Amino acid sequence: MRLSVLSSLLIGGIALAGCRSSSPADVLAITPSRDITSSVTASAPVPSADVGAQRASAAAAADTVNIPPKQEVLAWAGSVPQASSILEDVPASAPKPSLKPTISPDADRAVRSRMRIYSQRFGDAKPINFGKVTPRHYAVHGVDVSRWQGEIDWPRLRAHGANFAYIKATDGGDHLDPMFQTNWRRAKEAGLKRGAYHFFYWCRVASEQASWFIRNVPRDPDALPPVIDVEWNGDSACKRRPSPQQVREKMQVFMDMLERHYGKRPVIYTAPDFYADNLKGAFQNYPFWLRAVAQHPSKVYPGRKWVFWQYSGSGLSQGVNGKIDLNVFHGSESEWHRWLDRNSGA
């Protein structure tokens, strides 16, 4: 009987070893989508749920399982670092381990440096007398840049007073600023808070423009909210000027798509003539970035609340050859940090 049992076991083992699964899951090959641009891999699809529902779902998940937000990897940018603390989940009563063995002095100084607010030391090729309230009365200064600034020495620019930067990313539905990838990466390496902006074309479908921006701009939780730049451009081949109602409808489509994708309400950048034609009294629940290079925004845009003021298009700074746009944040240093807490991963 013992030999019979052993024989049975040997025969059964040989039979099982000869079996192979033919399940479709073992042989299914998933072909990646070809719906990508030449610059980056395709981003995740835009969720259909509204932003409020999306945030509520994320908050509910965070209450039960502490899962960090998904990292999005782009071909040129790599993975996005998450702003998290290694002591975040340690009970208040528990002894906290020393960080000295794992963080070098140089790395610690770099972290502190990134949080510092630098006083501005900009010049201006065309200085303006703004009256009683000038840009120097504001604590947090920054810049906006594009290909026209060429190669930027970002550490020097930051030390000269650029605490934040808005970087040109896209135009219309098919143009990527050739310096965007470099500026996006180097600005963050230098410790600036940075965001991306899109120059809106009135002859292109709004949803196409939003999709193009989303494909090319990383979903980095540490970034500033995205910007839609709306103005009349006499140099463009597109001479169309839609009605104010059409302007606002196209803007809304674009902004809704960006807000669903990035989870942040977009900032509206505009100039005096376009604002007067289309935006007076509109979009009261959106942050505004206002161009006013001859007078304070309170005089150019009466009654309009604003977050950023572009006060010069002829700024001068170390780290940049030629002129650069200069901006301020509307608030103190502490208000800046609170605004970042609400609008980025800072």
Residues 6+ apart with CB under 8 A from 128: 293, 294, 311, 312
**In angstroms, rounded to a whole number, what is the distance separating the alpha carbons of residues 152 and 163?**
15
Alpha-carbon span 206 to 172, nearest angstrom: 9
Distance CA 320, CA 162 (A): 11
Q: Give the integer Cα–Cα distance in Å for 164 and 183.
A: 12
State the Cα–Cα distance between residues 52 and 248, nearest whole angstrom.
22
Annotated catalytic residue within 189, 208, 231, 259: 231
Q: What burial class does residue 265 get, using C-beta atoms within 10 Å of its C-beta: 0-12 exposed, 13-18 middle, 19+ buried?
A: middle
Long-range contacts of 38-43 (CB under 8 A, 24+ apart): 39/75, 39/76, 39/176, 39/181, 39/215, 39/216, 40/74, 40/75, 40/76, 40/77, 40/215, 40/216, 41/73, 41/74, 41/75, 42/215, 43/72, 43/214, 43/215, 43/219, 43/261
The single-letter code of the amino acid at 284 is: Q
What Rg value do the Cα atoms of the chain yield, rounded?
26
333 in active site: no
Return phi, psi of residue 338, to 5°.
-65, -40
Residues counted in the chain? 346
Strands (E), the chain: 123-124, 141-145, 164-171, 175-176, 193-199, 227-230, 267-270, 288-291, 308-316, 324-329
Q: Which residues are catalytic?
A: 231
